[in-house]
Amino acid sequence: MRVLGVDPGSVRTGYGIIERDGTRLRLITAGTLTAGEKAPLEERLLTIHTGLVALIEEYAPGAAAVEDIFMAKFPNAALKLGHARGVALLAIAQAGLAVHPYPPAVVKRSIVGKGAADKTQVARIVGAMLGLTELPGIDATDALAIALTHAQAARMHAALAPAAKLASAAKSGRPGAPRRAAKGRPPPKTGR
């Protein structure tokens, strides 16, 4: 499964695409989309959109994960971040991919083991997980961390899906569902 991770920002938007094959993880590409700090906001947003559309077309990820918005100290910065995230969501939705949002603390906990980890800790572990000898920029490693978080969550979900299906069938009383004994009685014999 290929996963696109996006770390939205109004000046720099990090992206990373990984591939998970069983337990094996592999970097496909990573980098930063930027039109420059001095560029007008609409130009920066266009750069994010066209860049993500091109990446999705070229690498065909099967899933996309985006960092969720957190509360910022400065309302104007939060608004610009919201614009950048919205443009990223649009590019992903136009490609027909579902968006999987992850708050920063969840990503850090998934990668480092603690939600208060700093960016250098996250980058170092992302590099180790992907076997990188050279790390891309901090925005790209954040995006890779988001992609890795989703790859791990999807793997866990796939592993638990059969058990959830059985539990649902047992609850509904459908044929083929495991039988439960009534209170105080042994389970019925099945002839085995």
Residues with catalytic roles: 7, 67, 139
Residues 38 and 118 sit within 8 Å (Cβ to Cβ): no
- Of 56, 53, 42, residue with least CA distance to 84: 42
Beta-bridge mates of residue 10: none
- Of 120, 119, 121, 123, residue with least CA distance to 132: 123
Please report which residue ranges of 101-173 form alpha helices under DSSP H: 104-111, 119-130, 138-172
- For residue 157, which amino acid is it? H
Residue 36 CA, distance from chain mean position? 26
Determine the Cα–Cα distance for residues 39 and 37; give it in Å rounded to an integer: 6
